[in-house]
Structure 1
Amino acid sequence: MARPTTQVRRPAEQGSKAQPRSVSVRMYRDILGDCFLLRVPDGDRTRHILIDCGILQGMPGATEQANRIMADIKSVTTVLDVLVVTHEHVDHLSGFEQAKSIFSEVTVSELWLAWTEDPRDEQAMRLRAGREKVKTLLAKSYTAFANYKSFMSHPEYSDDEDPSEADGEPLEPGPLDELSSVLAFAGIGPDGPGVKSASSTAAILERLKLKAERVRYMTPGTKPELGFASGIGVYVLGPPRDEKLLRRSDPRKNHAEVYQLSGDVGEDYLLAASVMLEGEDSSLDADDLQRLQMSLPFGLRAMVPLDNRLAEIGLRTDDAARSTALSSYDDPANDWRKVDIDWLGATEALALKLDSDTNNTSLVLAFELGEGPHGRVLLFPGDAQIGSWLSWHDLTWPPGAQKGDIDSVNVADLLAKTVLYKVGHHASHNATPREFGLELMTHPDLVAMIPVEEAFANNSKHWKMPFRALLDRLVEKTGGRVIRADRAKADIKAYADDTLSIELQLDARQWQSFFDNLDEISDHQGPLALEYRIPYSTS
């Protein structure tokens, strides 16, 4: 099926005064992380909106790159009219710490955060308390994993040899390496799991709150005023208040919700480990006790506890029974029967679940340039995953309006007018829904921006970013206008020519219009950013 041609613009009605304008979106390059600087016209001046600034831990030269990025931001403006922090992950926050000396010279007028960060919101406080408890458990589980002698002495995990190679061949990362990588997302590190350092994501976020002249917490379904730049509206889409959707990161198997379904992530909350690790003062409520008993691999009668920490579920034993159990346990002949650290294998699943849940707390914003049927939307979803995307379709503006009402707006309207999609979560497999997301982006001028560094994501982290099926569909939907943080301007059309069939390719005029609005930004060290201008008009 042939791709639609560029939308025909009707001339402005007689007597109206069309004012051509453009918003520029600068995406910083060669990082696995998000950092976007928006330049917005406001009469005879320009306003600036920064959305996130972070680089994933472990990227070579991350601190140097963060300082280059922040220096460029400062060269453009020393005042951020709005700083948006989508969620508390290191690849969205680290730059404020890595380049803090430069950032200290930049003023932040307003800081926008999701309602999940509001210290006065009871639901947010409860969710945050649960998240902190899981972080503590993960940190202690990591320590137990790392310190266990039989684990550390195993050749596969030993520190006695270079973990990067054995017999000249690269080694796959061990479970401890993978767990450490996942914990980094949760703000546990970089000084080590459990260490609350000045560079933790929570600490960075608190400093940003103190720095900003005003902090605003955004709730889905609202339309906050920018206070500048007439003709631009902002719609808040996420994160959802519905906790079932807030915790839903993976698509359902019986519905084609994304471009490929992910595998299951276990929800073993390590209740037994929690009791053992947190100490004598830990306690379980009735629901936790039931879940713990159901999760035990053997019946209670087969268990001999080494202390009375689990007495609350009926596990008690006398000194004689404990002594007998210990003598059998310490017999080297029984080493093969031990399962001491097997429960720690579930720690990574829990860490991944925490990571996904945090992604779903992303503040999701849709900027509408102009109004009415000719408005153009810039969609910034952070790292929102399936539950958040689904929740948007229950929203209508103004609040209380019904879908179909004159002058009402819903998410399908916004997606249909989207001309710039900041691809969620570095184009991972489960952060861009199919029918509820990308397929509703039908504007013929659609452009996608992907903040990704494929070589690092694939080779160092073993992540499929960008996910191939999603990337292919993005190329089809945009006619090849996919701007990647790890590719130069010249690579865009070449990739489209190699990928798209003839009937889906843009014509020469469409490519020229696109490239006329796309600039490469460099500093004295080389390429630094790609900036795309989105023209619009107001009457």
Structure 2
Amino acid sequence: MAANSVTVRMYDVGFGDAFLVTVRQDDLAWRMLVDCGVHSLGKARPLLDVVRAIIADLTEAAAPGTPPALDVVVATHHHADHITGFAYDDWTAVRVGEVWVSFVEDDADEDAVVLKNGLTRAARNLNTLVGRAAMTPGDETRTLALGLAGALAVNSLGNEDAMDRLLGRNGKHFLNVPAIRYLPEKFALLNVIRTPLPGVTVHVLGPSRDPGQLARMNPPQSARWLALQEALAAGPDGGPASGPAPVGPLFDEIYSVSPDEAGQVIGIELLSTLASLDLGTLADDAVEILAAASILERSVNNTSIFFVLDVDGTRLVFVGDSQQGAWDHVLQDPAARALVSDPAFYKVGHHGSHNATPRDYVTHALGNQGAYAMLPYGKVEQWGDIPNEHLLTALAGMNARIVRADAPVADARVRVGPGNLWSEITFPAP
């Protein structure tokens, strides 16, 4: 019995992700919610309104007398713009079959604990540094840099109430306490997850469990959409700030590479940036704090669950906020590369930032078959280069049809909800 269709509904939260996937097969349906969150700087509407809209949609789809239900909830990674919506108690009305989270959330996994503790410690230390760095009246550049760094640090800390609900701890839960999968599994065969519907399979391709790959945050020059991020290219802002000495070491040893190793994998331009960072006196320079915040942001992004939903040969690619290191892990594996090639659907990574969708993927793997690319995006004034125009132009050049959450356009396959609350694509299964 083949599936009849698969529908992806993208809710317009702003700068964040919330995707409801529904696979229909005659009278049966399988539903997955991928993320639910928004960045504090880029809200399109109150997030609670979106949460209640999702639950209302699930309630409408439920059989009479049964609660709203999801077969799977995926929290791709713990950035607030992907999970903070789960903090709301409205979710106690929803029954959930399984929750999938990145392996870094597994307190029983020794490697995960080391990695997660390092990320959390770095975010907290960075947030402290932002608080201690002196603002300079009239210096808009410095104020902007510190504000952005603080926002990135807070986003990287995630949301404990949301994680408590996802993991069923500290009294937080859905209607039930669902089973938890920490992905990817160490045993590769377990990363091919078969759903109750015949012919409907999920292939979990990332994140990599190799700390070396997670640490490769910036792509080399040849693979970048822009030569260098403006924040990383900028020099010192003109003088030391007053205030107490900074907290000590910002990043754990797990993120360290030798200069020789760095020269082989991350390119000379990032080596130059690294040489300019004096982490021991980081609180003295706002631009350096922002650069460090950007590195931390990429570290968490590259812990994203990266998966392909295969519905009878119609493949949908969901990447969370995966960036260069995570993409390398996928594209350099022939079997994984085949799964992400020529998809019907691509969830544009990290809201269309310049280094979250590799040029190699767009020009050599995405295909020229008119794939639909959904872009979860809301305007943040400080981030004028997101979404990156070079990326959007490259996608359009490969005949991809881009559906933007902030400005959706209906066509024969795309529907748009009232007030642009959501847009959705339906693919008939072959």
Q: Which residue of 2 aligns with 1:472?
A: 393
Q: Which residue of 1 aligns with 2:325?
A: 387
Give how far 1:143 is off: 2.3
Distance of 1:444 and 1:295 partners within structure 2:
45
Q: Which residue of 2 aligns with 1:425?
A: 350
Structure 1 length-normalised TM: 0.64
Q: Which residue of 1 aligns with 2:98?
A: 110
Give how far 1:380 is off: 0.1
Give how far 1:258 is off: 3.8
CA distance 1:248–1:389, shift in 2 (3 Å): same
**Contact map agreement 2:3 2:311 (CA 8 A) in 1:** no
Distance of 2:70 and 2:36 partners within structure 1:
13
Aligned positions of 1:79-98 closer than 5 A: 79-97=69-87
Q: Which amino acid aligns with 1:244?
A: G
Q: 2:180 aligns with which of 195, 215, 222?
A: 215
Distance of 2:374 and 2:153 partners within structure 1:
27
Work out which of the two has the higher radius of gyration on C-alpha atoms and give 1 or 2. Answer: 1
Aligned positions of 1:267-282 closer than 5 A: 276-278=245-247
1:53 match: secondary structure: coil
Give how far 1:41 is off: 2.2
Distance of 2:32 and 2:228 partners within structure 1:
34
1:140 match: secondary structure: helix
Unaligned runs of 5+ in 2: 63-67, 234-243, 260-274
CA distance 1:446–1:379, shift in 2 (3 Å): same
Aligned positions of 1:519-538 closer than 5 A: 519-522=415-418, 526-537=419-430
1:109 match: secondary structure: strand
Aligned positions of 1:443-458 closer than 5 A: 444-453=369-378, 456-457=379-380
Give how far 1:23 is off: 0.5
Give how far 1:139 is off: 2.4
**Contact map agreement 1:36 1:53 (CA 8 A) in 2:** yes
**Contact map agreement 2:409 2:416 (CA 8 A) in 1:** yes
CA distance 1:340–1:216, shift in 2 (3 Å): closer
CA distance 1:340–1:349, shift in 2 (3 Å): closer
Q: 1:69 aligns with which of 18, 33, 53?
A: 53
Q: Which residue of 1 aligns with 2:146?
A: 176
Show CA shifts across 1:69-109 (max 9, x none). Answer: 33444434511110000001111112122xx2422211121
**Contact map agreement 1:262 1:430 (CA 8 A) in 2:** no
**Contact map agreement 1:42 1:228 (CA 8 A) in 2:** no
**Contact map agreement 1:23 1:534 (CA 8 A) in 2:** yes
CA distance 1:437–1:121, shift in 2 (3 Å): farther
Q: Which amino acid aligns with 1:202?
A: E
2:116 match: secondary structure: helix
Q: Which amino acid aligns with 1:33?
A: G
Distance of 1:175 and 1:341 partners within structure 2:
12
Show CA shifts across 1:441-488 (max 9, x none). Answer: 2251411111112xx23xx22331211011011112235x21110113
Structure 2 length-normalised TM: 0.80
CA distance 1:63–1:393, shift in 2 (3 Å): closer
CA distance 1:344–1:426, shift in 2 (3 Å): closer
Distance of 1:180 and 1:130 partners within structure 2:
18
1:478 match: secondary structure: coil
1:392 match: secondary structure: helix
Q: Which residue of 2 aligns with 1:156?
A: 139
Distance of 1:357 and 1:415 partners within structure 2:
22
Distance of 1:56 and 1:384 partners within structure 2:
17
Give how far 1:137 is off: 1.4
Q: Which residue of 2 aligns with 1:15?
A: none
Q: Which residue of 2 aligns with 1:234?
A: 202
Unaligned runs of 5+ in 1: 1-17, 158-170, 188-199, 267-274, 298-309, 311-338, 396-402, 404-409, 491-514
Q: Find out whether 1:205 has 2:189 as its counterpart.
A: no
Q: Which amino acid aligns with 2:211?
A: E
Equivalenced residue count is 384
**Contact map agreement 2:5 2:25 (CA 8 A) in 1:** no
Q: Which residue of 2 aligns with 1:483?
A: 403
